[in-house]
Amino acid sequence: MTYNYNLKANKNGYVPFLFIAAIVLGALSTFLFLSTVTAVIITAIAVWAAVKMSFSLRKILSSRIETYTEGFNVFLSDGTKLEFEYKLITHAGFITNSGFVFAYEASLDRIVQLPKVFINFEDFVEELKENTTCYKDYTLEEGQTIIDWLKADLGITEKEEDSDNEISETTSDNAETENPEIDNTPENEEN
């Protein structure tokens, strides 16, 4: 099953489209009070910026989750594909504080946090519940992240964090908002 990004699920999803339109309309309005050459240059720059932003939005809208019998794939807005096998997931669940769902594979030291911005996201959550034995709801303390909780649960200390078995903390900024970018931590490379 494929769960595509749902623009309507993000309450601020329309803002980038309005911003692109405002840039182009603002540039076109320069023809009213600037010389033609200057207005053409400004409009060309604005159109270039609008096209670049449109391509970025297209990438965000291409984010999706695909499930199959043995696991699921998450396709991020940057084109990265994360593969998770149900049998390797050691921790999974719903984070009540943020509304995100996460899955963690300890053997690969990989985590993905998914916001509710996918069409039929509840169906994906049900698939995750049915196919993993570790799914549960997590309520974190104020200021605590799921990565902090996992470190405590797995008994990882500060000295152990420097080893190849550390849980990376690259998932901080996007986890706080309903940004359509999917929060993830890339796999650690093996030496």
Residue pair 86/71 in contact (Cβ under 8 Å)? The answer is yes
pLDDT of residue 165 exceeding 80, the answer is no
CA-angle at 147, arms to 144 and 152, nearest 5°:
80
Q: What percent of the chain has pLDDT over 70?
A: 81
Question: In whole numbers, what is the pLDDT of the chain averaged over residues?
Answer: 79
Q: Which amino acid is at 164?
A: D
Residue 109 has a pLDDT of: 84
Residue 161 has pLDDT above 70, yes or no: no
Q: Report residue 145: phi and psi, to 5°.
A: -105, 165
